[in-house]
Amino acid sequence: MADTMQFDLVSPERSLLSTQVSSVQIPGADGDLTAMPNHAPLITTLRPGILTVETDKGAQEYVVTGGFAEIGESLSVLAEKALPKADVDQATYDALVDEVQAVYTQTKEAGAGVDDAAKLLQDTVAIAASLGLTAKQPAL
C-alpha cells in the first residue's frame, strides 16, 4: 500500500491485529474520528462502538467496548474488549450489555459517576444497530 502506517489492536486477552493500514475509523469518547498516515499526534479514549480498519485486503471491523487509541507515526488501540464484528452474535452482544448493566447498577448504588455509567450503557446498547441485532433494553 502506498500511503500506510503501522496499526496494532490489542486487548487484555490477545493481540488481534498488527498490520499496515491506510485508515482507521475510531469510536472516540468525544466523537468518531478517522486516523490516516501523517495524522497529528493524539491520544483519545474509546467509547463502545465499531472500529473499522482499512487495509490492502479491504475493511475489517471490530467491536470495542472502551480503551485508548494513541496516534503518532503509528496507531495503537488498547481496547478493554475487542472482538471481530463477525464473531459477535446476539448472545455475545447480550452478555456485553449485561456486563455493562452490572457496572451501572454498582455505580448507581455507590452514588458517584452515574451519568458516565449510564452513557457507557447506552453506547453499548447502541452497538446492536451496527451489528444488525436486536437491541437489549436495560433498566436505568
Closest by alpha carbon to 29, among 65, 72, 73, 71? Answer: 65
d(CA 46, CA 66): 5
**CB-based contact 77:8 (threshold 8 Å):** yes
* Per-residue pLDDT tens digits for 86-125: 999 999 999 999 999 999 999 989 888 889 999 999 999 9
d(CA 121, CA 137): 10
> Does residue 8 register a pLDDT over 70?
yes
Q: Is 64 helix (H, G, I), strand (E, B) or coil?
A: strand
* Per-residue pLDDT tens digits for 27-74: 999 999 999 999 999 999 999 999 999 999 999 999 999 999 999 999
CA distances from 94 to 19, 101, 108, 135 (A): 30, 10, 21, 8
**CB-based contact 44:50 (threshold 8 Å):** no
Grid cell of 60 as nine digits: 475489517
> Which has the higher per-residue pLDDT, 140 or 80?
80
Grid cell of 136 as nine digits: 437489549
